A and B are shown apart, each in its own frame.
Chain A
Amino acid sequence: MSTVLQLKNITKTYGDMRALNGIDLALPGDAYISLLGPSGSGKTTLLRVIAGFEQPDGGAILFDGKRIDTMAPDKRGIGFVFQNFALFPHLSVAQNIAFGLENRDVEPSTDRRLIDAKVRDIISLVGLSGLEGRAVTQISGGQRQRVALARTLVTEPRMVLLDEPLGALDANLRARMRAELRAIRERCGVTFLHVTGSEAEALAMGDTVLVLESGRIAQSADSDTVYNRPASPAVARFLNCYNLFPGRIEGGAFVGGVGRFALGPAVTARSASPAYAIRYDRVSVRPRDAAITEDEIRIEANFVASEYSGAAVNSFFALDDGRVFEVESHLSHAAPETYAEQGRYALVWKREDALVYA
């Protein structure tokens, strides 16, 4: 896959705040890329810089090898789908979609038949047939989402930026639109860069997942790698499925707040702030007197509460230093156990399941 969009050392500062702190990035063509970042990580700023609504303070943006960071937004060939859809409220569905074709400065279409044909094609592509004449105020959230997407796609951009496109939809619709967005992208064959604050959405949608953390790209990899091998403690924390312990490595063991964890042949990743991470679903809860094997690590904690989510139960334990430790038990493996309130249990995991950052 060839690179379409390349960012070199992009910086952007608002007052004292560094929104983008040297972003280096290369995005492949014909791919679905999700950009995951907590709120305030600079993800919307990054998208607006790529689209051209904001000027970067430094660095270069290359599109197909040409510099575009000094071009006006509409000359870049990059479409933008807004979080709130930003539909033109006084125009119908079809008029909204035709807007770009009719009104662009460069080569506006004047041939009514051609415009109508293109609009018809894109309406059937995004599944809006039958709603052409409706006012955009009279359609549902999901349909508005499709209008926003169609309006951008009809101008045949070479890349589409989506700013939290599913954020305004309810949970049920969001799940359906995920698959839909991927399918639409595959039919168009252009790169989608999808910004989201939800880790589940980013992992489910992206061929490549980028994780943005305090103005930098913290990781860029496929979903599986990001989930199983987060590149830094910050990424792991943000994925919301790892228990993290700060501490330091001392003589073949990790010394954290609640004890020494012997290190196995475990992977150690480089990080400025040492940390020990164990995934929620890699931990088992046992009675305190249960034996452990050679390669297992054991800590003790008090049960606090558990949360049932259908396929799994998440149990929360209080460690001796006050920290909360979460364990996820999948119900397909075993019937849910009930733990005694404030009861003391052993939490056990395999040495090699842990990720160690140092």
Chain B
Amino acid sequence: MSMMAVAEQTETETVAEKKSPGKALWLLAPGVIWMTLFLVLPILMMVYVSFWTQTTFTIEPTLTLKSWITFFTSDTYLGALWTTVRIWLIVLVATVLVGYPAALFVGLFVKNKALQTVLLVLCVIPFWTSFLIRVLAWRPMLGKEGAINMILMNLGITDAPIEVLLFSELSVIIGMTQIYCVFMVGPIAFMLGRIDTSIIEAAQDLGAGFWRIFRTIILPLSMPGVVVGAIFVSVMVLGEFATSAALSGRKVNLLGNIIVTQVGSLKWAFAAVAGVVLTILMGAVVAALLRVVDLRKEL
């Protein structure tokens, strides 16, 4: 009798075990529902709307390629696309150039873990002020009568204020590099921190100098960090509109600024075209970056 009970119990357990993968799938349901409703559907909608017919104040669901043709024949839109790509590339390079040495210092040369954390938190401090205040704070810094020009003129280094500092592409690049640098420092410092000191000592013992070790050991081992940082920075810079609006005096138009103005003037179809182009661009950039290293293998 009791034997029977045990056998029965074992059977139920086996059945339950067989069922469990199906049951576990339910864990995905909230995420899948959420993403479908608020990510996949809106994106599909955006693609759909980009083919609608746009008149001055209205938009009709009659399918047409007009908005797409307008986008790819207009100098304004193509110019914005080109500016977006150019500023993205420059900011990406600038964040690597500024961020990598900082990460190298924090991740490799600071041995004390507590101090490491403190330094990384210092990098995050700019985020404790609001985005708007941070961006606007650059104006008294870079303006014609701003701090930098005053100092340069008082020291006699320049006679006249350098006007290109504010309301130019340069000011947008300076502002964006400052804001997004930390997203580069974090992942790189994390990867560098994981490099075992004895690996570097081993390379030293085998006779390699610092730059050799950097090029052959440290750089390749930190590449996953650079790629993750680059993905963060790229996604954020490509979708940017606030920094360029606040620091360029509307002279620099990114795809993000185009979308904002088109939506503002109710040109939904154009906005959707720009949105689709931006989404494809981001997707391509992320895909390209992921080809650089196999993140699944490295992390």
Contact = CB atoms under 8 A, between A and B. Distances in A.
Q: Do A and B interact?
A: yes
Interface of A: 51-53, 72-74, 78-80, 82-84, 86-90, 99-100, 103-106, 151-152, 155
Contact of B206 (A83, A84, A90, A100): A100
Contacts of A52: 205
Nearest to B204: A73
Contacts of B199: 86-89
B212 interface: yes
A89 B216 CA distance: 11
A87 B206 CA distance: 12
Nearest to A84: B198
Nearest to B221: A90
Contacts of A73: 201, 204-205
Interface in B242-295: none
B201 A100 contact: no
B202 A106 contact: no
Contacts of B198: 82-84, 86
Given A99-B208, A106-B207, A86 B202 contact: yes
A326 to B, nearest CB: 38
A100 B196 contact: no
Contacts of A99: 203, 206, 208, 216
Contacts of B201: 53, 73, 80, 82, 86
Contacts of A74: 204-208
B217 interface: yes
B212 A155 contact: no
A211 B203 CA distance: 30
B126 interface: no
B22 interface: no
Of A53, A80, A86, chain B has the most CB atoms within 10 Å of the CB of A86
Nearest to B211: A105
Nearest to A151: B206
A146 to B, nearest CB: 15
B65 to A, nearest CB: 48
A137 to B, nearest CB: 9
A87 B209 CA distance: 17
Of A51, A53, A73, A88, chain B has the most CB atoms within 10 Å of the CB of A88
A80 B205 contact: yes
Contacts of B204: 53, 72-74
B220 interface: yes
Nearest to A106: B207
Nearest to B197: A86
Contact of A103 (B216, B220, B221): B216
Interface string B206-244: 111100110011001100000000000000000000000
Given A89-B221, A99-B216, A103-B212, A80 B202 contact: yes
A105 B205 contact: no
5 contacts: A74-B208, A84-B196, A88-B202, A90-B220, A100-B206
A115 B200 CA distance: 22
B271 to A, nearest CB: 45
Nearest to B208: A103
A335 to B, nearest CB: 45
Contacts of B205: 51-53, 73-74, 78-80, 152
Contacts of A89: 199, 221
B196 A103 contact: no
B109 to A, nearest CB: 16
B208 A105 contact: yes
A291 to B, nearest CB: 61
B207 A88 contact: no
Of B204, B205, B216, B220, chain A has the most CB atoms within 10 Å of the CB of B205
Contacts of A79: 205
Contacts of B202: 80, 82, 86-88, 151
Given A52-B205, A74-B206, 12 more contacts: A73-B205, A80-B201, A80-B202, A86-B201, A87-B199, A88-B202, A99-B216, A100-B208, A103-B208, A103-B216, A105-B209, A151-B202
Contacts of B213: 103
Contacts of A72: 204
Nearest to B195: A89
Nearest to B196: A86
Contacts of A100: 206-208
Interface in B163-219: 196, 198-199, 201-209, 212-213, 216-217
Contacts of A104: 206-208
Contacts of B196: 84, 86
A150 to B, nearest CB: 12
A146 B196 CA distance: 19
B207 A155 contact: yes
Contacts of A90: 220-221
Nearest to A82: B198
A105 B217 contact: no
A264 B41 CA distance: 97
B157 to A, nearest CB: 41
Given A82-B198, A99-B203, A103-B203, A88 B217 contact: yes
A341 B213 CA distance: 63
A325 to B, nearest CB: 42
Nearest to B293: A90
Given A82-B201, A86-B201, A99-B216, A155 B206 contact: yes
Of B207, B212, B216, chain A has the most CB atoms within 10 Å of the CB of B207
Contacts of A86: 196, 198-199, 201-202
B58 to A, nearest CB: 58
A211 B188 CA distance: 44
A329 to B, nearest CB: 44
A170 B240 CA distance: 55
A88 B217 CA distance: 7
A100 B206 CA distance: 5
A238 to B, nearest CB: 27
A169 B167 CA distance: 64
A319 B198 CA distance: 47
